[in-house]
Amino acid sequence: MIVRVAAIDCGTNSIRLLIADIENGTLTDVVRTMVIVRLGEGVDKTGEFSQAALARTFAAIETFALLISQHQPERVRFVATSASRDVLNRSEFMDGVLSRLGIEPDIISGDEEAELSFLGATADLVNEQEPPAAPYLVVDIGGGSTEFVLGTTGPTAAISTNVGCVRMTERHLISDPATPQEIAAAIADIDAAIDLAYQSVPISQAHSLIGLAGSVTTVAAIALGLSEYDSTAIHGSRISAPDIHRITGELLAMTRAQRAKLGPMHEGRIDVIGSGALVLDRIMIRTGLGEVVVSERDILDGIARGLISNPS
């Protein structure tokens, strides 16, 4: 039996919609779309969503509501992550979603975010002819947080840390391009988060690193030499640690205008790609894992699959 579901992932940097048909564990896209809304813009400093950020987000939700109405999924879930957990005006955000979509957003914990990311990222990759070796360390680098999840058939340990591409850019990488002092401060923050992850997750047990979300896929696109973003080429690609380190250095040394000219670069990632790459680079350095397996499937796919396994 085919079940049509709709999943919305509202993060710090982007909001995404997946409408998919699921049959016997196979997920087939009907609609997959993303809007960069920068919902978490300024949250690290002010503690609340700005009116401009809410307006951008609500406009995207209105577009998603039309798509959902057109395609008539049986089950719908709206998940909000890092930026939405602790803001002072969370109720304004939740009321705005409810009035436009007809459902309340689920503001999930870091642990659930990690579990959904693991489910979404590994479902396709483990069935490839040459799957990554288990156990996997799944790393989801978002705008406000980074999740570390270890597991094989499912997550066995996970932690969500408060480093992400938007948060690190706003907190540290202010100059254009970033100064060595700013980069050093960002590295100190990222390394502290990795230290925290090691305390909760037995990272040394991992045989493979699976990386997901826009920072990872964009860096992979650059490493692959793509002239434009190609999700088919990116999904399942393996990028070496030296290539990640080289590209991270190049991105951090570029001006905003130079990054904007890169073919695979989405306009909404131009400002934050350097810090996102830096998070990935530090994880690879600290873990000693020699390559990252890149997944185009992530928490959005995990939300969709969860609607089948746990429809309530």
CA 63, 65, 71, 77: dihedral to nearest 10 degrees?
120
pLDDT of the residue at 254:
96
Q: How confident is the model at residue 3 (pLDDT cuts 50, 70, 90)?
A: very high
pLDDT of the residue at 190:
97
- Beta pairing class for 136-141 and 208-212: parallel
CA-based radius of gyration for the chain: 18
Got the DSSP string for 270-303?
Answer: TTTHHHHHHHHHHHHHHH---EEEEES--HHHHH
pLDDT of the residue at 242:
98
pLDDT of the residue at 286:
96
How far, in Å, CA of 186 to CA of 165, rounded?
A: 10
By CB atoms closer than 10 A (0-12, 13-18, 19+), residue 67 is middle
pLDDT of the residue at 129:
72
How far, in Å, CA of 67 to CA of 6, rounded?
A: 10
Range 130-136 average pLDDT? 90
How far, in Å, CA of 281 to CA of 290, rounded?
A: 11
Q: Which two tokens stand for residue 64?
A: 């998603």
Residue 61, pLDDT > 90, answer yes
- Contact status, residue 309 vs residue 235, Cβ threshold 8 Å: no
By CB atoms closer than 10 A (0-12, 13-18, 19+), residue 238 is middle
By CB atoms closer than 10 A (0-12, 13-18, 19+), residue 123 is middle
Residue 311, pLDDT > 60, answer no
Residue 310, pLDDT > 70, answer no
Largest CA distance in the chain: 57
Q: For 71-84, how does the pLDDT look when each residue is reduced to its tens digit (9 = 90+)?
A: 999 999 999 976 67
Q: Which domains does the chain have, with CATH numbers?
A: 3-108 (3.30.420.40), 111-295 (3.30.420.150)
pLDDT of the residue at 87:
85
- Contact status, residue 151 vs residue 136, Cβ threshold 8 Å: yes
62-71, 273-282, 301-310: lowest mean pLDDT where?
Answer: 301-310
- Contact status, residue 232 vs residue 290, Cβ threshold 8 Å: no
DSSP bridge partners of 79: 9, 106
Q: Which two tokens stand for residue 84?
A: 């939405």
Q: How confident is the model at residue 60 (pLDDT cuts 50, 70, 90)?
A: very high
pLDDT of the residue at 312:
52
Position with higher pLDDT, 282 vs 126: 282
Phi then psi dihedrals of residue 288, to 5 deg: 75, 10
SS3 131: coil
Range 36-45 average pLDDT? 86
Position with higher pLDDT, 116 vs 95: 95
Q: For 219-274, how does the pLDDT look when each residue is reduced to its tens digit (9 = 90+)?
A: 999 999 999 999 899 999 999 999 999 999 999 999 999 999 999 998 889 999 99
pLDDT of the residue at 233:
94
Q: Choose among 80, 147, 85: nearest CA to 119.
A: 147
Q: Please, what is the average pLDDT of the chain?
A: 92
Q: How confident is the model at residue 43 (pLDDT cuts 50, 70, 90)?
A: confident
- Contact status, residue 264 vs residue 229, Cβ threshold 8 Å: yes
Q: How confident is the model at residue 127 (pLDDT cuts 50, 70, 90)?
A: low
Q: For 164-209, how does the pLDDT look when each residue is reduced to its tens digit (9 = 90+)?
A: 998 999 999 999 999 999 999 999 999 999 999 999 999 999 999 9
Q: Whole-model pTM?
A: 0.83
